[in-house]
Amino acid sequence: MNTNPSATINNPICFQHYRDLPAEMFAESMPAPSAAPSLIELNTNLLDQLGIDSSWFGSQQALSVLSGNSINEANHPIAMAYSGHQFGNWSAVLGDGRAHMLGQVKTAEGRYIDLQLKGSGRTQFSRGGDGRATLGSVIREYLLSEAMAGLGISTTRSIAMLTTGDSVAREQLNPGAILVRSAESHLRVGSFQFARSQSIQTQSIQAESIQAQSIQEDSAQPPATIDGVKALADFTIVRHFPELEQSSSKYLDLLSAVGKRQASLIAEWMLVGFIHGVMNTDNVSITGETIDFGPCAFMDEYNPQKVFSSIDVQGRYAWDQQPTIGQWNLTRLAETLLPLFDDNEEKSVEMAQQRLAEFIPQFQQSFQAGLMRKFGFTEGSDQTRQLTTEMLAAMEADGVDFTVFFNNLTRVAEGESEPVLINLFNDAEVASSLIEQWQALRAKDSDSLLSMRQANPAVIARNHQVQFAIDAAVEDNDFLPFKRLCRVLANPYQIDPADHELMAPPKSEQRVTRTFCGT
């Protein structure tokens, strides 16, 4: 591996902030070299938004670094450690099994964002996996994360995508690829769970040592070792929640701050029909970003119990279960922080329960406010809530497409005739009655119309369109459908007439009913 490639452009990856954490929270890990790397997409729009010069990212030095063929000796890559509850089952050691943190890049505003390679080879946490990513899974994450950004929802972003020239074996041989991912942070609830599990392990070793040294003595158990959890919590507050630093209850406030961001994020997901698919604690961002796009999807027909993930056979992460799971995941975070709340365990539990009780009301407030905007109501009332409940029930009964309905509802509010909406339903009489009630209740000022449009995208990253783009790239080396989707999803509220077919729901033969994790 070349460790000192010649270059005339400075590498902007300047820090590795995670090295400030206890050593057990990460592992030194070198990306695997790529046979014949090639840059296939550079997200210049994102780099422009961040105020980062794109020159280096298009250089040969960048290609060498981002493909794993060279490293910066002064800033070695790492793989981050974390634990997780996966579908409710505990895994003590997970970690980045196919990702390498290169460090941080400074934005024009003076913020630092993470730069991570995904699909860049084995790490100490690969657990028998090859650490690689297929081109299809990389395209999928790129498109879905950019779709989320276009909708204005907090998310990790893709800076670049490149092919490696290697083959990756799954059900068949697939072209390999690497995603260059950016994020405010890659810390997860699972990061705190790992820190806590390490503390418990350390405590157990200390207890055994004391017992071995003094079997005859009546020694008390040593106090719980929480140094790792405290160090991680302090790091998180300093880096991402600096407003909490001077608080006398900063660790409780951290729990509340994470919960508030998650409640808002999940509400925003659901309001555009998004189903994350794997809301395991290792996929829950501390900073409230959408992270790890595996078997996720936007639903077509409205169905609150909708599940896409091939591995979620119990419907644990269905569309309507996401807020409940959000609180469950937040409770797991609270468990790790308990020793920091108060020396008295019973009091700590009581404090945590009080903060956890905030979550569902915060979600409901965000969701209901968003739902009112989607229907064009300026505020919620008993009448508007009753109508939205009945309208959603009618949509579910008739299998009405979620995005098409709200887009057409907005068009009717903007002056289009009502049949465009009524024709979506099987029972025209029920639909007409509900729309008549809606017309009587909705606000008719221009500000409300603008707010309604901004709540209702005309296009989403539909499964069949994403799959079409993947198939074209993988099978025919044709990236035009991918680039077209990227362009359209960047502004999903205003669609050029030439792209109108991307608004259409799938035909029966186009439906993607199951999605899969990229590993």
Count Cβ atoms below 10 Å from residue 466 Cβ, excluding itself. 26
Q: Which residues contact 204 (CB under 8 A, 6 or more apart)?
A: none
Count Cβ atoms below 10 Å from residue 467 Cβ, excluding itself. 17
Q: How many residues does the chain have?
A: 519
Q: Which two tokens stand for residue 143?
A: 């498109």
User: Please, are residues 285 and 114 in contact by the beta-carbon 8 Å criterion?
Assistant: no
CA angle 380, 382, 388 (to 5 degrees): 70
Which of 325, 328, 313, 331 lies closest to 276, judged by CA?
325
User: Please, are residues 272 and 300 in contact by the beta-carbon 8 Å criterion?
Assistant: no
Burial class of 505 by CB neighbour count within 10 A (0 to 12, 13 to 18, 19+): middle
Burial class of 274 by CB neighbour count within 10 A (0 to 12, 13 to 18, 19+): buried
Q: What is the CA radius of gyration of the chain?
A: 25
Exposure letters 50-81 (e unless 16+ CB within 10 A, then b): bebebebbebebbbbbbbbbbbbeebbbbbbb
- Cα–Cα distances (Å) from 354 to 217, 324, 349, 351, 403, in that order, read 41, 17, 9, 5, 37
- Cα–Cα distances (Å) from 466 to 141, 219, 251, 319, 460, in that order, read 10, 62, 41, 20, 10
Q: Which residues contact 443 (CB under 8 A, 6 or more apart)?
A: 376, 377, 378
Could you give the maximum distance between any two Cα atoms of the chain, in Å?
Answer: 88
Q: Which residues contact 279 (CB under 8 A, 6 or more apart)?
A: 317, 322, 325, 326, 329
- Pick the catalytic residue: 96, 114, 130, 282? 282
DSSP string of 161-204? EEEEEEEEESSSEEEEEEEEEEES---BHHHHHHHHHHHHHHHH
Rounded CA separation 168/177 (Å)? 9
Which of 334, 276, 287, 335 lies closest to 309, judged by CA?
276
Rounded CA separation 277/310 (Å)? 9
Rounded CA separation 256/249 (Å)? 11
C-alpha count within 13 angstroms, C-beta hemisphere, residue 383? 10
- 282 classed as catalytic: yes
Q: Which two tokens stand for residue 515?
A: 């999605």
DSSP conformation class of 437? H
Catalytically active residues are 282
